[in-house]
Amino acid sequence: DQQVKQNSPSLSVQEGRISILNCDYTNSMFDYFLWYKKYPAEGPTFLISISSIKDKNEDGRFTVFLNKSAKHLSLHIVPSQPGDSAVYFCAARAPMDSNYQLIWGAGTKLIIKP
Amino acid sequence: NAGVTQTPKFRILKIGQSMTLQCTQDMNHNYMYWYRQDPGMGLKLIYYSVGAGITDKGEVPNGYNVSRSTTEDFPLRLELAAPSQTSVYFCASSYSSGREDGTQYFGPGTRLTVL
């Protein structure tokens, strides 16, 4: 069963507008959530994270929101730029008894239109 | 500081052949990981290591072996390659502890095709 789900395989957004990428999870024991960005032929790179005890974390154009009751998090990119076109992965950190492994979603391909 | 390096970048294997994917990190991270990514899918953990001499299975370990003799190196061995092992393989490392957020740093990947 998928513990971390990204239900939108792709998303197309106009340059300058807001991009919102969504992620749902099932395990209430996850204690950190991370977003990674991946360009073709490269490895994923860390973008932003949020602790389960917070509901918002902001870093420049990127903001992650966490709704624990709904087991849902979202990544907002404002304003969207052409260089933001990439695949975005949501990952959740498992608890200590699972050696803090990251559980990954399938990714959402973001396309920024000029 | 090169981060995480992987070799080779591309490889084509015949069914039944074997090979080793190399991974090295220079960040003195204790934790290292091997993932595979199939088209349209998320990353699946193959094996991981919490330190030199210690390895453990991930979600999809069958058909693979690993070793961790040093902090820096974490090679992945494929024995008797099968078409189902056609994938992109990523190596990653992290400090990972209960006090960190588990951020992992990735290599550029190895694209493997088994024919």
Instruction: Return per-residue pLDDT of chain B as tens, 115 residues.
Output: 789 999 999 999 999 999 999 999 999 999 999 999 998 788 999 999 999 999 999 989 999 999 999 999 999 999 899 999 999 999 999 986 655 677 899 999 999 999 9
Nearest CA in chain A to B100: A32
Cβ–Cβ of A46/B103 closer than 8 Å?
Answer: yes
CA distance B76 to chain A (A): 17
Residues of A with CB under 8 A from a CB of B: 4, 6, 9, 32, 34, 41-46, 49, 51, 89, 93, 96, 99-102, 104-107
Distance from CA of A14 to the nearest CA of B (A): 24
Q: How confident is the model at residue A97 (pLDDT cuts 50, 70, 90)?
A: confident
Q: Which residue of A has its CA nearest to B58?
A: A101
Set of chain A residues whose Cβ sits within 8 Å of the Cβ of B4: 43
CA B104 distance to own-chain centroid: 12
From first CA to last CA, the distance across chain B in angstroms is 36
Q: Which of B45, B101, B109 sits opposite A43 (nearest CB)?
A: B109
Burial of A89 (0-12, 13-18, 19+ CB in 10 A): buried
In this complex, the residue of B41, B97, B108 whose CB is nearest that of residue A43 is B108
With 0-12 / 13-18 / 19 or more C-beta atoms within 10 angstroms meaning exposed / middle / buried, residue A59 is: exposed
CA distances from A41 to A22, A34, B39, B90, B108 (A): 24, 21, 13, 11, 7
A49: which 2 tokens?
A: 């994270």
Mean pLDDT estimate for chain A:
94
Q: What are the structure tokens assigned to A97, written together?
A: 């008894």
**Measured distance CA(A34)–CA(B76) in Å, rounded:** 26
Give the number of C-alpha atoms closer than 13 A to the C-alpha of residue B102, restricted to the C-beta side.
Answer: 25
In A6-107, DSSP assigns E strands to 10-14, 19-25, 32-38, 45-51, 56-59, 62-67, 72-77, 86-93, 102-104
Handedness of CA A62, A68, A69, A71 (dihedral sign): positive
